[in-house]
Homo-oligomer: A and B are copies of this chain.
Amino acid sequence: MLTLHHAWASTCSQKVRLCLAEKGLSYAERLLDLRRFEQLSPAFLALNPDGMVPVLEHERLVLTESTVINDYLDDRFPDPPLRPADPAGRARVGMWNRLVDEIASPAIKAPSFARNLRPGLRALDDAALDAALARMPDPMVARRWRRAAREGFATEELAYAHDRLRLVLGRVEAAMARGPWLAGAAFTLADINMAPFILRIEGFEEYDLARDWPRCRVWLDALRARPAFPAARIVAQGTTTPKEVPAPCA
């Protein structure tokens, strides 16, 4: 039995839901509302001391990093395979994963935060905000959230985040000059792990993929057209309750 602890709008949760959907795996789910800081509850911190979604439980294993979770799912449920069999192909997927984890994932936070989390945080008074942030395992992240909740992100910080997102879009665009998928001929975890970030960017009004990154848009459309895509339930930012999204996969 697979159990996924996740949040609808979390890009890293979406990575794992996409992988599970492509594998056709069913799973139990535990939903967390990040706006209510459910990822910082004592029960959840006991499961993942880093206080982050997603978490996958399977047999006696508790896995806490979405890239590791997807590699595990591909090792444990190899049909259909989501990584090439040859070492060079696997390394190409690995390098895409690093681009996602090192650049796309940190850079998506500030523009996502401004749209998704800040409205809720602004409604909290200082005592309630402090109580929640005091449970954050990383004091630097807590400080950043506190400042962002009260003042928003600095213009410079947002500009840097968008520069980094454009770097990612540029690399996807360049890879799609070859294509048809990021790591070459086969659809792989490189596509899955990147997808939630480009889908999120597509929703930002600063970006026009069809105009400025047309091959990236072709890739995104191909990804969206895959039969498994609806089962991943990629929802718009701001969606927080299961009632707002389609029924869980069977």
List, in ascending order, chain B residues with CB within 8 A of A95's CB.
63-65, 68
Among the interface residues A87, A88, A91, A102, which one has the most CB atoms of the partner chain B within 10 A? A91
Report how many copies the assembly holds. Answer: 2
Does any Cβ of B come within 8 Å of A131's Cβ? no
Tell me the chain A residues, 73-120 only, with Cβ under 8 Å from chain B: 75-76, 87-88, 90-91, 94-95, 97-98, 101-102
A63-B76 contact given A98-B68, A139-B163, CB 8 Å threshold: no
Are A94 and B76 within 8 A (Cβ)?
no
A67 to B102, CA, bound (A): 12
A76-B87 contact given A94-B65, A95-B65, A101-B101, CB 8 Å threshold: yes
Are B140 and A98 within 8 A (Cβ)?
no
If over half of A's interface residues share one DSSP class (helix, strand or loop), that class is named, otherwise mixed; here it is helix
List, in ascending order, chain B residues with CB within 8 A of A71's CB.
90-91, 94
CB distance from A202 to the nearest CB of B (A): 24
A72-B59 contact given A98-B67, A101-B101, A160-B140, CB 8 Å threshold: no
List the 9 closest A-B pairs by CB distance, nearest first. A75-B87, A68-B94, A76-B87, A72-B91, A65-B98, A61-B88, A68-B95, A140-B160, A72-B87
